[in-house]
Structure 1
């Protein structure tokens, strides 16, 4: 090395930084959520997976429109302007899963594949009965929320329920509670979803204002 010069390029440092996936478990308090909670007796009954801590890239199987839980399938969820904006008292827990860069890329590719084929898939209501019976009913091309999250993790090489510590479960029997109590999951936040510190406060305020304006306009019409 030439005297007086220091080597500053470290191209391998960034690649060694840990990668994370984020699991969001929520309870909106809707009638449908309360119905599921009657059977599960769990604090959270919906699971989503995010590729970023800000939850901008958030995916699940759930309702496509806020007012109709039966119109459901693969969705990219929007905290600010999607279904969650109708339920501002939603409680949640955000979990972090440490993965390799390759695993994260594989999970992202699996999610992208679901997105490309979204019309092929339906919401697995019958599968929820299978959970109650502890039986994998193997319904083709149908998923419920936690089953979807477990499936994309599996396709990314992360079979979290295939170990002595976590037990052995197919994705069709994985519930939000299994994520909540998995030994590899690190809790980063629990509380009201709108208070999650990584959210964009400006976007939240704008979404509140638009929702208020639309409700006011509807009242004037009626």
Structure 2
């Protein structure tokens, strides 16, 4: 039998103006998605702000739950899910992730893609993603199909609705602990 591993999907709500605007439309409790290969969330990746003080400069980011953008918003709420996958699927995901890491400077935040979700029309540009599109792309390119839709149409709430994800934690991100 293949080795069973876990990856973690973190959904957050910082309460910023941008997230409140998205939430006003989606009515979903969380509007940002990130992926991690460990429960400690020490390696957390997404598409979002490159600098905590500048919401307009976005792209591929390695996030840290203790510093950076999340530390500026101590009341950030979150939900953490575990996705059981094979060791081979994790290898594939890490290979895809390393493509993003190696070329991180060329990636942009796909703000038009966020608008595309509202219109139910995928808006895709090469090297341009929004947070949930990025996480869905990592899974999709690794052969993991959680939904029957393009990554460019996946929202953070789609992760919340997936029956393959198991709830690990829900509450304030600043209070999250693996112990």
Residue 29 of structure 1 pairs with residue 9 of structure 2: no
Runs of 4+ in 1 over 6 A off after TM superposition: none
Provide the residue aligned with 2:42 in structure 1.
56
CA deviation after TM superposition for structure 1 residue 17, in Å: 4.7
Distance 1:17 1:138, change over 3 A: closer
CA deviation after TM superposition for structure 1 residue 108, in Å: 1.1
CA deviations on 1:111-151 (whole Å, 9 max, x unpaired) are 11101111221100001111000001222221000000000
Counterparts of residues 93-132 of structure 1 (less than 5 Å): 93-132=79-118
Structure that is richer in strand per residue: 2
User: What SS does the aligned partner of 2:95 have?
Assistant: helix
Provide the residue aligned with 1:176 in structure 2.
156
- Distance in 1 (alpha carbons) for counterparts of 2:133 and 2:170: 22
Provide the residue aligned with 2:173 in structure 1.
193
TM-score by length of 1: 0.78
| RMSD between aligned residues | 1.3
Aligned residues: 179
Counterparts of residues 3-152 of structure 1 (less than 5 Å): 17-152=3-138
User: What SS does the aligned partner of 1:147 have?
Assistant: helix
- Distance in 2 (alpha carbons) for counterparts of 1:195 and 1:137: 36
- Structure 1 gap ranges (5+): 1-14, 162-167, 200-222
TM-score by length of 2: 0.96
Select the structure of larger CA radius of gyration: 1
Deviates more, 1:45-54 or 1:73-82: 73-82
